[in-house]
Amino acid sequence: MELSDYSKIHQMHHRKEKMMAHLHPSKGGCWFCHEDDENECLFFDSEFDTYVHKSCIRQELSKDPASGSYNPEAEIMKYLLEEDNG
């Protein structure tokens, strides 16, 4: 398979997830704040099978990993933020 084919499929896959997040916002709240804030869209994370706010991931990442309140899940969900740059 050509590399370009793979990236096309990869993009389609992610687009589908974003659509799901828009279609089913009431299915679950954010992984971090447990809220479904209608002012900010929730993104679906396929690693943990949950919805998250991008702002909440950013907030987690800004915390000190040594502090007790840090959620290491944010490290794994970081890829959702990186999609913005593509």
Interface with Zn ion by CB under 5 A: which residues?
Answer: 30, 32-33, 53, 56
**From the CB of 47, what's the least distance to Zn ion, in Å?**
16
79: enclosing H helix or E strand: helix 73-82
CA dihedral over 6, 18, 61, 34, signed as positive or negative:
negative
Residue among 14 and 29 whose Cβ is closer to Zn ion: 29
Angle at 27 (CA atoms; ends 37, 79), nearest 5 degrees: 70
Residue among 33 and 81 whose Cβ is closer to Zn ion: 33
**From the CB of 12, what's the least distance to Zn ion, in Å?**
26
